[in-house]
């Protein structure tokens, strides 16, 4: 198990293990929902605990959400950068944006299509944190629902709708 070298007090040991598993050279990244769920929960914890507000590295510049957190494959990586294509967040990046230098900045975060890229240009820091926090919470809830229905076929959306309709 890889121990997190993150300077924050959270010590993201489960995130570091998942990140190390994804970073294996030659392994096409297709993390299961459980791994993705732990990554998103860790990112939410990092955001809510002020991880971007008290940077331990690069305090001289603004902090970039996802890129400057333990979620990033290149966090505290001072050697050769790992390709973003190996990141768990890539599944949220629209196909037309996957070749961008920082694809995670192009994840649609709300119904209006706001992305980190657009928020960095037009939003305040508080607006950005609020929108990302909401997106993380909604995505975590969706993955948890999908995990519950995968474990219990009776809890599938179709069966829940049928059960809800029979309560009348």
Per residue in 88-136, pLDDT tens? 999 999 999 999 999 999 999 999 999 999 999 999 999 999 999 999 9
Task: Return the pLDDT at 19.
Answer: 38
Digit-coded pLDDT (tens) for 56-97: 655 666 788 998 888 888 887 778 888 999 999 999 999 999
**DSSP string of the chain?**
-PPP--SSTT--HHHHHHHHHHT-TTPPP---HHHHHHHHHHHHHHHHTTTTTS-SS-TTS---TTTTSTTSTTTT--SSPPPGGGSGGGGGS-GGGTTSSSGGGG---STT---HHHHHHHS-HHHHHHHHHHHHHHHHHHHHHHHHHHH-GGGSHHHHHHHHHTT-
Full-prediction pTM beyond 0.75?
Answer: no
């Amino acid at each position: 198990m890889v121990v997190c070298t993150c300077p924050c007090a959270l010590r993201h040991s489960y995130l570091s293990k998942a990140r190390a598993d994804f970073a294996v050279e030659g392994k096409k990244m297709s993390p299961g929902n459980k791994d993705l769920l732990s990554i998103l929960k860790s990112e939410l914890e990092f955001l809510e605990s002020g991880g971007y507000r008290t940077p331990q590295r690069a305090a001289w510049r603004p902090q970039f959400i996802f890129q400057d957190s333990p979620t990033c494959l290149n966090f505290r990586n001072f050697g050769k950068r790992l390709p973003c294509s190996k990141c768990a967040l890539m599944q949220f990046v629209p196909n037309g944006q996957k070749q961008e230098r920082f694809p995670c900045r192009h994840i649609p975060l709300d119904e209006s299509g706001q992305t980190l890229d657009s928020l960095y240009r037009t939003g305040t820091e508080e607006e950005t944190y609020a929108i990302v926090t909401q997106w993380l919470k909604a995505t975590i809830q969706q993955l948890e629902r999908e995990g519950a229905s995968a474990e219990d076929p009776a809890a599938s959306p179709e069966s829940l709708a049928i059960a809800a309709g029979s309560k009348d």
